[in-house]
Amino acid sequence: MDADKARVCVLYDIYGELLPASVSEFIDLYYNNDLSLSEAAENTGISRQGVRDGIMRGTKLLEEYEEKLGLYKKYKNNKEAVSKIRAELDTADITDELKEKIVSLLGTLSF
């Protein structure tokens, strides 16, 4: 999956509930279910161009939400921080029991 597609998928996971229902459906079919524009059009009874326009509108809305709220950026920063902590744990001079506790706590984070 290319970086742009992955970004849209994560933005959709974060902000998808804010999208109009039809736009949300188009993005879900195209990005999450990996349907072509033609297949998504067939599934929804809308023209291929209509699906494309809906996807373009939806991705623009997702980017606007991110610009205003910044939750994707926070998600990426948190994910990177957890990766760095895990890497540091591998070389840290602490007991295995403490390492396991820290890894378990990191596993409880949701972002």
The pLDDT-based confidence of 111 (bands split at 50, 70, 90) is low
Domain match, 11 and 62 both: yes
Q: Among candidates 75, 78, 65, 59, which has minimal Cα distance to 8?
A: 59
Domain match, 81 and 65 both: no
Domain count, the chain: 2
**DSSP string for residues in 63-74:** HHHHHHH-HHHH
Domain match, 88 and 61 both: no
Domain match, 27 and 63 both: yes
Segments forming the whole domain that contains residue 17: 3-69
What tens digit of pLDDT does each residue of 55-77 get? 999 999 999 999 999 999 999 99
CATH code of the domain in which 11 resides? 1.10.10.10
pTM greater than 0.95 (yes/no): no
Give me the amino acid identity at 7. R
